[in-house]
Structure 1
């Protein structure tokens, strides 16, 4: 379907949204220095650290540098996601395995009524947010278009070098985008087109996975933009 030469089919709308967000993000990340990349605006931030210096219990990565990750739980902001997982057909046991929590904790979340308590998650650095995105998109490509074998948490070689991290990140983003651009309508509707080992991707039509990737990219890039604003404001 076309309107004034502008395609409005599902895939075109999603790609247009992603392309515009990527363009804006690349402009906003121009000139990122190592110091700013690793800047910790408050005490107790999660970031990229040498393996021997990480204090979070589930920090991960394949090399010398790892990405902080705290104790397993389901934060309040993710209660709705757990409900969606259950509605999509995931069992309590599968949800518990996905979040690395007990089945009792999943049942507690599913039974919760009213608004959950506000999250008390750590503030994260630009490095953490960028590497978190890199992990997701690299792993997302592997489990939808690649060999569907590599653990996403071991795919990205984290680095304290901002320029190198960005070069690797944009390469992963472009690989994802190029592959998304080849999808057919049938593939978009296929449940299990992605078998990503974390989350509910394997239980969702792939169009939902693509839309979710756009949302993840946009909201983390907005957070990074705010951190850059705060960094600059603190040095005026």
Structure 2
């Protein structure tokens, strides 16, 4: 389907959105230096660190460098998703397992009324955000198009070298794009086509998973673009 050569079908729209975001992101990441890549604009940032120097309880990675990760929790931005899970028939125990938190924490979230307080989430470096996306798309590809057996946290060898990370990252993104481009209408509607273990992908049609992956890519790349702007202006003072 299309108008004047432009696709208007579900997959076509998702691909066009992803392609435009990817093109913009690649331009914005041109010239990224190692210093900027690892820059920590405030104390307490999450980043990638040498094994043994990580400051978070669940930092992970297969090699010398690991990605900071804190204790499991349900962020305020996901309270509505937890409510939807419960309304859809998921037990409190299943929801707790899905989020890797206690039953008590799920009950606390479900009992919450009013607007949730903003999350006190840490600032993350460009290195962290790229590594997070790399890990997310590597695991997403493995558990949708690959053998669906490799542990996602062992798929990406994190690196302090910006050029190395970008080369590996864009190769992965191109593989993801090629695989998504070949998805059929039947696969788009298949619940559980993605079995990615660190998500609820298996509970949704694959078209929803793809929409979520686009959102993940776009919002983290927007954050990276802002960090690049702040890096460029870091020594500028108001006159």
Please state if 1:200 is matched with 2:193.
no
TM normalised by structure 1 equals: 0.97
For structure 1, which runs of at least 5 residues remain unmatched after alignment?
none
* Structure 2 CA distance for partners of 1:164 and 1:140, relative to 1, 3 Å: same
**Residues of 1 paired with 2:90 and 2:144: CA distance?**
19
Secondary structure in 2 aligned to 1:144?
A: coil
**Residues of 2 paired with 1:226 and 1:152: CA distance?**
28
What is the Cα deviation at residue 191 of structure 1? 0.3
Aligned ranges for residues 60-209 of structure 1 at < 5 Å?
60-209=60-209
For structure 2, which runs of at least 5 residues remain unmatched after alignment?
none
Structure 1 contact 58–68 (Cα < 8 Å) conserved? yes
* Structure 2 CA distance for partners of 1:187 and 1:89, relative to 1, 3 Å: farther
TM normalised by structure 2 equals: 0.95
**Residues of 1 paired with 2:133 and 2:193: CA distance?**
20
| Structure 1 residues 185-207: Cα deviation after superposition (integer angstroms, max 9, x where no partner) | 11000000001101110000100
Please state if 1:39 is matched with 2:49.
no
**Residues of 1 paired with 2:127 and 2:193: CA distance?**
30
Higher mean C-alpha displacement, 1-10 vs 14-23: 1-10
State the match for 2:213 in structure 1: 213
Q: What is the aligned length?
A: 236
Secondary structure in 2 aligned to 1:69?
A: coil
Structure 1 contact 96–102 (Cα < 8 Å) conserved? yes
- Aligned alpha-carbon RMSD (Å): 1.2
